[in-house]
Every structure is written in structure tokens, then in C-alpha cells.
Amino acid sequence: MLPITNSTFWSYCEKFFSTRLRASQLALKISAICLGFGSLAGVAQAAEQVPVQAPSPEQTQQNLIAKGQYLAIAADCAACHTDPTTKQPFAGGYAIHSPMGVIYSTNITPSKQFGIGSYTE
């Protein structure tokens, strides 16, 4: 067996590790490419499975009603727009005493005659 000098040893290590490093980098790049193509295939498959169509007018109306109900509860509209004496929700008439005088809350029901039913966006 031949004696290995310091420079020969480091030369051998350098070749060994650089070859390993290049192989691992190549494997990493190939994996990334395969994952990329796999993701594209998954997106294409998902696009085929999800029907794209506009919601029906009934669904749109139901969604708007649900959103309005959520907002009315979150904003606590009933606190000011319900008169404690009549107990009619959102019908207005609640007296709010302020330094400028009494301010009466408005009717925010969907009534076209008394509420906000004829309002538009």
C-alpha cells in the first residue's frame, strides 16, 4: 500500500465530495421538476372537477340575506333600531337623548313603505 500524502488525501476528498455534491444537486433539481409537473397535473385535474358556473339568483339572494343577517348581529343594530316599548326588531323609534335633543332611530326593516325596502345600492 502506498503512503497517502497530505495533498493526495485532500485531493481525493475534494473529488469525492464534489462528485457527491453534484449528484445530490442534480437529484434535487430533478425532484423539483417532478414536483412541479405533479403540481400542474393536480391543478389541471382539480380544474376539470370543479364546475364553473354562476350561482343561481336564488343562491345569490340567500347569500345576501345571510350576509345581512350576519352584519346586523355583528354590528348590534337591534340595540338602537328597536324601541323597547314596542319590541318590534329594527322598526326604529328608539329615543336617543343627546345634548342636541332627542334623536329617534330609523326603521331599517325591508318594508318599502316605512323601512329601507326601496333603497338601492
Q: Tens digits of per-residue pLDDT, 12-46?
A: 656 655 655 566 676 667 776 766 666 665 655 66
Instruction: Compute φ and ψ for 29, nearest 5 degrees.
Output: -65, -40
Question: Tell me: the pLDDT tens digits for 83-101?
Answer: 888 888 899 999 999 999 9
Average pLDDT, the chain: 77
The DSSP bridge pattern shows strands 101-104 and 95-98 to be antiparallel
Report the predicted TM-score, pTM, of the whole model to 2 decimal places. Answer: 0.47
Q: What is the DSSP string of 5-56?
A: PHHHHHHHHHHHHHHHHHHHHHHHHHHHHHHHHHHHHHHHHHHHHS---PPP
Is the predicted pLDDT of residue 2 greater than 90, yes or no? Answer: no
DSSP string, 46-80: HHHHS---PPPHHHHHHHHHHHHHHHHHHTTHHHH
DSSP β-bridge partners for residue 98: 101
Q: Is the pLDDT of residue 102 over 90?
A: yes
**Buried/exposed 27-42: b ≥16 CB within 10 Å, e otherwise:** eeeeeeeeeeeeeeee
